[in-house]
Chain A
Amino acid sequence: MQPLLIKAILVVIIFVITLLVALYATFAERKVSAIMQDRIGPNRAGPFGLLQPLADGVKMFMKEELIPSLSNKWLFIIGPCIALLTSFMTGVVIPWGGSITIGETTFDLQITDLNIGILYLFGVVSMGVYGIMIGGWASNNKFSLIGAIRASSQMISYEIAMGLAIIALVMTTGTLSLKDIVMQQDAGFANIVYQPVGFLIFLICAFAETNRAPFDMPECETELIGGYHTEYSSLKLGFYLFAEYINMFVSSAVIACFYFGGYNFPFQTELQNWLGFSNNVLSILQVLAMFGKVLFFIFFFMWVRWTIPRFRYDQLMTLGWKILLPLALINIFITGIVMYFSGSIN
């Protein structure tokens, strides 16, 4: 098979999986919130309510499409498209598993292994704020605008701390490619052991970047009536909500790759030697391990959302600038000192 064809198939598969996970994440969110509040949750559509996402989707389609007459029409349409597009684009550099051999050809379970994967990831993620910013601006509504402004200032503030947390990680791993970072963790300890503070900072910033509670400041149902998507209806609103869930999925994957060994699972080589299965079987197991980690973090995102109330805006800024940023800098400093004295740099 041609490499291009294989890549195309891989792209389609990952696209579909991303869609499916995001679709069922909406359902899972409702279920998780239900069981944490001692309720049963949606269980009417299909067995155990499993067709609920479908019903929600149909509902979104059927809603009336409203474009405010005083809005900037083109920007109003482009906003949700950018939000969805960028959230899809982030999934490109994530390694989902080892490599699979079919016949003569071997291919990686990763769409593309950019040597500057982390940089690409950051670039695309910060583009995501344009979707929110443009949407909020084009709505010509003060609530939307406040939501959009909050979103952009929040993202800028937390991106700095996030970037600095990653720099400490890059110092220890010495590479910007996600594949290499994951491969370095295939034996021994995962990166969380070496970078616990970095992980904490990254996790908190991931919550802020995906606009999830307790940092869902741009949406703020209770004070901004939905924030940047106040004026949106029908499928365009669906795009925004969907983008949030895809972001959550990708963030979970990134956290798993950076700090929890990505697709590696404990004792994999020992297990392979002992049971003697082929590389293909190992890769499939690795994909499952990866998805296990990702699903856990998606659950964690929801778990936190239904536990912690929203921050106040000044608290959010204090946390970002006065706590996380210095903490990230100290982390880099200490990482450097430890590396110097342990002799990994000279």
Chain B
Amino acid sequence: MLTNRSKQVVKKEMTWVEKAYLPAIFQGLIITFKHIFKKKATIRYPEQKRPIAPVYRGQHVLKRDESGAERCTACGLCAVACPAEAITMVAAERTKDEVSLYREEKYASVYEINMLRCIFCGLCEEACPKEAIFLTDRIVPSTFERHEFIFGKDILVEPVNERLDVTKRQTPEVLEFKKDKKHKHNLTFLDKVIVKKSRH
């Protein structure tokens, strides 16, 4: 009814033409023949790709901050938020000479997401207080082995010199919030040095 395409079913005697069946077959053949020239519904996938939304929820990335230190502090909030229980991590304490590698004093030495469990809901991203984890518009590639779907830090953390742009995912409110230096976790590495210096 909503589409206005519903038809009343009538159970009437078939006419002679309908009973002969051949005209109906002929009509059917014409219909299928017309479909040869129709636009294809499928595409040649790896070569051609369909456009995807800028806020597409695909493979995760663990972000680094401006100076290249990992943002994640292994608080475990993402793992708690995850409805599919796809995230596991092991926390470790940062040593003195690792200051440039990790942003916070506590960091994740192991961080794994099981992509077979993940439902790409994006709750981990929402839960993270450090803006460390984001979903990106990359599609998780398929492989043949189950264990290959458990992505560790080697895949998840973005490389220092190939940063991933996630600004598309950040709403104006989030960006505004980030500028507020009142919250300690919004401070960049540089800011912290300045804060520290001003304390002395």
Residue A43 at the B interface, CB < 8 A? yes
- CB neighbours of B32 from chain A (8 A): 36, 303, 306-307
- Are the CB atoms of B44 and A39 closer together than 8 Å? no
Encode contact with B along A300-326: 1 for CB under 8 Å, 0 otherwise: 000110111000000000000000000
- Are the CB atoms of A39 and B42 closer together than 8 Å? yes
**How far apart are A47's CB and chain B's nearest CB, in angstroms?**
13
- CB neighbours of B22 from chain A (8 A): 200
**How far apart are A126's CB and chain B's nearest CB, in angstroms?**
27
Residue B38 at the A interface, CB < 8 A? yes
CB-based nearest B residue for A43: B44
Known: A37-B35, A39-B42, A304-B25. 5 other contacts (CB 8 A): A35-B35, A35-B36, A35-B40, A39-B41, A303-B32
**How far apart are A58's CB and chain B's nearest CB, in angstroms?**
19
Residue A38 at the B interface, CB < 8 A? yes
Residue A40 at the B interface, CB < 8 A? yes
- CB neighbours of A308 from chain B (8 A): 25, 28
Q: 9 closest pairs, A vs B, by CB?
A: A307-B32, A38-B41, A307-B28, A36-B32, A39-B42, A35-B36, A36-B35, A40-B42, A38-B38
Residue B29 at the A interface, CB < 8 A? yes
- Are the CB atoms of A40 and B28 closer together than 8 Å? no
- CB neighbours of B36 from chain A (8 A): 35-36
A36 and B30 CA atoms in complex are apart in Å by 11
CB-based nearest B residue for A323: B21
A96 and B25 CA atoms in complex are apart in Å by 31
Residue B16 at the A interface, CB < 8 A? no
Cβ contacts A to B, 6 pairs, < 8 Å: A35-B35, A38-B38, A40-B40, A40-B44, A306-B32, A307-B31
Q: Which of B29, B41, B44 contacts A304 (CB 8 A)?
A: B29
Number of interface residues of B (CB under 8 A): 16
A35 and B39 CA atoms in complex are apart in Å by 9
- Are the CB atoms of A38 and B39 closer together than 8 Å? yes
CB-based nearest A residue for B36: A35
- CB neighbours of B29 from chain A (8 A): 303-304, 307
A193 and B32 CA atoms in complex are apart in Å by 27
- CB neighbours of B35 from chain A (8 A): 35-38
- CB neighbours of A43 from chain B (8 A): 44
- CB neighbours of B144 from chain A (8 A): none
A40 and B28 CA atoms in complex are apart in Å by 21
Interface residues of B in 20-57 (CB under 8 A from A): 22, 25, 28-29, 31-33, 35-36, 38-44
- CB neighbours of B39 from chain A (8 A): 38
**How far apart are B149's CB and chain A's nearest CB, in angstroms?**
23
- Are the CB atoms of B41 and A307 closer together than 8 Å? no
Interface residues of A in 30-63 (CB under 8 A from B): 35-40, 43
A39 and B31 CA atoms in complex are apart in Å by 15
CB-based nearest A residue for B26: A307
**How far apart are B19's CB and chain A's nearest CB, in angstroms?**
10
**How far apart are A129's CB and chain B's nearest CB, in angstroms?**
26
A342 and B35 CA atoms in complex are apart in Å by 46
**How far apart are A169's CB and chain B's nearest CB, in angstroms?**
20
**How far apart are A32's CB and chain B's nearest CB, in angstroms?**
9
**How far apart are B174's CB and chain A's nearest CB, in angstroms?**
41
A33 and B39 CA atoms in complex are apart in Å by 15
- CB neighbours of A35 from chain B (8 A): 35-36, 40
**How far apart are B191's CB and chain A's nearest CB, in angstroms?**
53
- CB neighbours of A37 from chain B (8 A): 35
CB-based nearest A residue for B47: A43
CB-based nearest A residue for B21: A319
- CB neighbours of A304 from chain B (8 A): 25, 29
A40 and B47 CA atoms in complex are apart in Å by 14
- CB neighbours of B33 from chain A (8 A): 36, 303
Pick from B28, B33, B39 the residue with the most CB of A within 10 Å. Answer: B28
- CB neighbours of B28 from chain A (8 A): 307-308
**How far apart are A245's CB and chain B's nearest CB, in angstroms?**
20
- CB neighbours of A303 from chain B (8 A): 29, 32-33
A55 and B42 CA atoms in complex are apart in Å by 22
- CB neighbours of B31 from chain A (8 A): 307
A308 and B31 CA atoms in complex are apart in Å by 11
Pick from A36, A39, A43, A306 the residue with the most CB of B within 10 Å. Answer: A36
- CB neighbours of B40 from chain A (8 A): 35, 38-40
CB-based nearest B residue for A39: B42
- CB neighbours of A38 from chain B (8 A): 35, 38-42
A43 and B47 CA atoms in complex are apart in Å by 12
A37 and B31 CA atoms in complex are apart in Å by 11
**How far apart are B14's CB and chain A's nearest CB, in angstroms?**
14
A40 and B41 CA atoms in complex are apart in Å by 8
**How far apart are A121's CB and chain B's nearest CB, in angstroms?**
26
CB-based nearest A residue for B46: A44
Encode contact with A along B161-180: 1 for CB under 8 Å, 0 otherwise: 00000000000000000000
